[in-house]
């Protein structure tokens, strides 16, 4: 079906809505459309081209910044297209529509003794969102990012006029540019992924508690034999205790080693239900932000650190709370108040540990109020020109957007990170400048070349792309 034929069809209904990312730092007024199938997606692309206002796809809204909003233009809400199309247990493959969530995929796969090889920190991310952000998990050092397990992508591009099946063999440039491409190479309508065996809905967890940053880096810098590894850091502890950590490393627990045969059987049967269960508590719409201030967070961090074991080995823990600890608290982003939060996530390459140390010292000297910090190691990079992970160290730091000095400190961190060959995660970003992105992502021209081919009129655009000049590079 040609773009001209699609343009002659009635426009998809739209609702004017104010949208923001999970960080709630900036909102946009957008025309939100909810296509029911690929034909309606193509129709929406043609209409956006005719109107000249652009369009971007949106899933569950889990990106922290402005990646899935389009001021004054169209946004395609893809959550209505959420079928799990098929599962092939023998080939360990699953195919699903764009709006299927991580939780829905894991629940369906569990019935076949399978699971997703890579999951993010929340189960609410959609399949298309996971691809567009090339998400990573606690096992990147072993299994890579989400991109490593994508076998094919169903993609609607403005220039195509039809739904394309894109694979690494059929169109490697478009395939890899889409992985981590922030939705700017086309609207993802579905994908086929590799799955991995699920021995049981448990992991065996080793815990170590460190006394400061030096000890944390020493422990994490050694050989890593576990499949999953992550550290919670206390960035508000004073003096040499800054960077003290609770390090959690885990491996899948075989069914025969699960705690108690009857209990293990019941837990395995109940596991899919735990993935769809709602939060235990929702943060109210109006939350007294004074409760979340450095003094109170500092006290909580100290309590959490002391309550964690100094050294614990092979402690059984259920998968869902291990992978998705924050999902028990609904709308926890409201705790940061009306100004919202910034999750600043950066990666510094291996061999640049001096720069890593300087980044911590900069945060300390500027008194950056980091309320939550997650630290881990990355393995090898993906092939996508906008994919975030690099072989090295990554820190995700939650800071209140309205705190004094945050903008200047993060700008200084941008410069430090870019100067050592590192980068900031675009899916979390809401405030970087285009000059920083060009320094951090040296293969931007490869990305622009793909966009010129699949979207020559610049139909696909977002607030993130406009701010960082990702959608209007000259030929």
Q: Do the domains 80-198 and 203-279+287-438 sit in the same CATH topology, yes or no?
A: no
What angle, 0 to 180 degrees and rounded to 10, lies between the N-to-C axes of helices 213-220 and 353-365? 150
What is the chain's alpha carbon radius of gyration, rounded to the nearest angstrom?
22
User: Domain 203-279+287-438 belongs to what topology?
Assistant: Alpha-Beta Plaits (3.30.70)
72: tokens are: 């004054």
Torsion sign over Cα 221, 222, 225, 231: negative
pLDDT of residue 472: 62
pLDDT digits (tens, 9 = 90+) for 155-203: 999 998 889 999 999 999 999 999 999 999 999 999 999 999 999 999 9
pLDDT over 80 at 461, yes or no: yes
Q: Under a CB-based contact definition with an 8 Å cutoff, are residues 462 and 61 in contact?
A: no
The class of domain 80-198 in CATH terms is: alpha beta
pLDDT over 50 at 6, yes or no: no
pLDDT over 50 at 86, yes or no: yes
pLDDT of residue 227: 98
pLDDT over 60 at 9, yes or no: no
Phi, psi of 341, deg, nearest 5 = -135, 160
Please give the Cα distance from 473 to 470 (Å, whole number): 7
Q: Residue ranges of the domains in the chain?
A: 80-198, 203-279+287-438
- For 221, other C-beta atoms within 10 Å of its C-beta total 12
> Averaged over 76-99, what is the pLDDT?
98
Please give the Cα distance from 350 to 391 (Å, whole number): 6
209: tokens are: 């508690």
> Averaged over 232-252, what is the pLDDT?
96
Could you tell me which residue, 201 or 472, shows the higher pLDDT?
A: 201
Q: What is the mean pLDDT of the chain?
A: 93
Please give the Cα distance from 97 to 95 (Å, whole number): 7
């Amino acid at each position: 079906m040609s773009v001209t034929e699609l343009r002659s069809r009635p426009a998809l209904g739209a609702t004017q809505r104010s949208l923001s990312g999970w960080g709630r730092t900036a909102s946009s007024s957008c025309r939100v459309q909810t296509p029911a199938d690929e034909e309606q997606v193509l129709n929406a692309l043609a209409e956006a081209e005719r109107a000249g206002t652009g369009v971007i796809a949106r899933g569950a809204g889990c990106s922290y910044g402005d990646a899935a909003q389009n001021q004054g233009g169209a946004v395609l809400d893809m959550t209505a297209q959420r079928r799990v199309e098929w599962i092939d247990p023998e080939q360990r493959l699953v195919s699903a529509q764009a709006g299927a969530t991580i939780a829905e995929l894991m629940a369906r796969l569990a019935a076949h003794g399978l699971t997703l090889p890579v999951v993010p920190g929340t189960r609410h991310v959609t399949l298309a969102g996971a691809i567009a952000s090339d998400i990573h998990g606690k096992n990147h050092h072993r299994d890579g990012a989400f991109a490593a397990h994508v076998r094919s992508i169903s993609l609607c591009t403005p220039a195509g006029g039809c739904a394309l099946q894109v694979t690494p063999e059929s169109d490697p440039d478009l395939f890899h540019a889409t992985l981590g491409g922030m939705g700017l190479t086309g609207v993802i309508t579905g994908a086929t992924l590799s799955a991995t065996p699920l021995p049981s809905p448990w992991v065996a967890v080793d815990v170590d508690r460190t006394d400061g940053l030096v000890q944390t880096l020493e422990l994490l810098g050694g050989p890593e034999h576990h499949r999953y590894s992550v550290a919670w850091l206390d960035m508000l502890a004073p003096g040499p205790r800054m960077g003290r950590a609770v390090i959690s490393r885990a491996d899948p627990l075989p069914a025969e080693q699960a705690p108690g045969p009857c209990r293990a059987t019941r837990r395995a049967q109940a596991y899919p239900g735990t993935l769809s269960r709602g939060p235990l508590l929702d943060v109210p719409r109006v939350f007294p932000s004074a409760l979340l201030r450095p003094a109170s967070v500092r006290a909580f961090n100290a309590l959490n650190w002391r309550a964690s074991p100094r050294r614990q080995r092979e402690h059984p823990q259920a998968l869902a709370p291990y992978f998705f600890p924050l999902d028990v608290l609904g709308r926890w982003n409201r705790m940061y108040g009306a100004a919202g939060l910034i999750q600043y996530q950066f990666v510094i390459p291996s061999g640049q540990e001096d720069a890593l140390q300087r980044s911590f010292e900069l945060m300390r000297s500027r008194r950056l109020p980091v309320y939550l910090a997650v630290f881990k190691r990355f393995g090898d990079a993906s092939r996508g020109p906008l994919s975030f992970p690099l072989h090295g160290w990554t820190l995700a730091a939650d800071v209140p957007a309205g705190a004094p000095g945050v903008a200047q400190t993060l700008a200084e961190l941008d410069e430090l990170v870019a100067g050592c060959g590192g980068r900031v995660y675009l899916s979390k970003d809401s405030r970087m400048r285009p000059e920083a992105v060009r320094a951090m992502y040296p293969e931007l021209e490869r990305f622009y070349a793909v966009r010129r081919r699949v979207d020559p009129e610049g139909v696909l655009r977002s607030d993130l792309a406009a701010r960082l000049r990702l959608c209007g590079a000259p030929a």
